[in-house]
Structure 1
């Protein structure tokens, strides 16, 4: 009992320290042409969407003209920000002094913006923020600490931090399916399927720059695991461009491939004196825009 309490305490402390030690990041955007393996990136359109020496990260499209992301203020608090491509305006969806919101996304029902919330006591759980002006709602009060997630059939597939961390799917109250352990932070539903996709850290050498890892999916309808090959070396962030094509980045270079192919195709590199190292990604086929996160160089 004491050992379990100490492990939980150490995990909570390490999570809090990690959040406090975040790298300054900005959202960038560029235009795209074509689809799937014929996708092309117009690097002449690449530019920062945000430009602050703080944390702007975790972008996610919520419809065909709006994007949400997590942004830090000068006191280290994190709120959900909405950006409209129609108006070019940024709007605070949350402004909570006693807690921080991360990983915002639209729910399947389109009625809420979900987010991982670091509550006043340090607990990390999934919350729902109604699109209309109503109070936020705590979801899955008995599941913590949540790190990352996605939605399948209006239910959460959750990365739960622990020793080891694990991926679970919440079928209902008290009915939780444990899918796998030692998973990475990219938890993504494969479009138009019942598959939840993730990166497995099992068998990893731990070398972040050269290591490739397995991309795995679990089909919640068929109750089976599927392999989608290997990641790009040195990357832990992936997205589905559509039902059949994956996008990743390593360093300043983008890569795409068909789920059934073993070879990643380079889409080119972005050149910047102020930023480097692409991490999280978001794509809108309606807008033909790719949003990505880059670290600010230390001199910025």
Structure 2
């Protein structure tokens, strides 16, 4: 299914497989006050509602969220949802390519996406928000799985044996930052850190295996550590510079990295017909949280 193309103005302020599980985007209203983050009880509502794959949400600004959506033909496009108009629009509408993992670039002029091309090459492309011609960013860096932006340059997880997290300071200086990382790469707000889960070595905590949340400061060029992830969960995001959020099953947890390395449960999201939370994205002002929940 294709979403209706709307004339909507933007507000400026792994290997991908077509055999994906069916999942929807769920919106929670949240609030952030005096450094505390909480979920407003009873605020959960569906943003998408179909037997298909709607996943990988990323806020473009506080009023728009982009995500990848696979249609009935197995093709993935980038969709943008606007909260003020409650409308969807196709950012891409390609027949022989598939786009995943949308993010707004630092300059604000493009939505970037990992694009699976006609010959199965998997590279990072830029899609102008004025619907101009898309541009290939790095022609010689592939296959890209996931990525995050810093200083108008993408830190990318490149598939291989092992997978490698790289950052191209220049075309001639592509630096390897880490190996065997998870599927989530996030920039820590108001810092020059790129954060990720280290899947290369595991940690046993309270008798259960988990992994460490690590970082690399792209300006200082030093590695860091933010403690352990939440169980086997693979996705996380930052609410602000010091607050991480992850999900386990249908439970949401936060951790204050500047105060404690312990995870604190803040909410349980129970939606009829839905199972676990697999991904999540927080709005810039901290008043919205978009989750991906699997259909049962």
> TM-score, normalised on structure 2?
0.91
Q: 1:105 to 1:285 in 2, by over 3 A?
A: closer
Gap runs ≥5 in structure 1 = 1-13
Paired residues of 2:203 and 2:211 also in contact (CA < 8 A): no
Aligned match of 1:71 in 62, 69, 72? 69
Partner of 2:161: 163
What residue is the counterpart of 2:223 in the other structure? 225
Change (3 A) 1:36 1:125: farther
Give the whole-Å Cα distance in 1 for the aligned partners of 2:131 and 2:272: 41
* Pairs within 5 Å for 1:75-90: 75-90=73-88
More helix by share: 1
- Structure 2 distance, partners of 1:174, 1:136, is 24
Q: What does 1:53-202 align with in structure 2 at a 5 Å threshold?
A: 53-202=51-200
| Structure with the higher strand share, 1 or 2 | 2
Which SS does the other structure have where 2:175 is aligned?
A: strand
Question: C-alpha separation between the residues in 2 aligned to 1:293 and 1:52?
Answer: 13
Farther-moved stretch of structure 1 (248-257 vs 283-292): 283-292
Q: Which residue of 1 aligns with 2:276?
A: 277
Give secondary structure in 1 for the equivalent of 2:78.
strand
Q: Please give the TM-score of this superposition, normalised by the length of structure 1.
A: 0.90
Quote the offset at 1:20 in angstroms.
Answer: 2.2
Change (3 A) 1:214 1:186: same
2:267 match: 268
- Provide the aligned C-alpha RMSD in A: 1.7
CA displacement at 1:211 relative to structure 2: 2.8
Aligned length: 280
Unaligned stretches of 5+ residues in structure 2: 1-13
Note the C-alpha offset of 1:36.
Answer: 7.4
For 1:133 and 1:38, locate their aligned partners in 2 and report how far apart those are by CA, in whole Å. 39
Alignment partner of 1:27: what SS?
strand
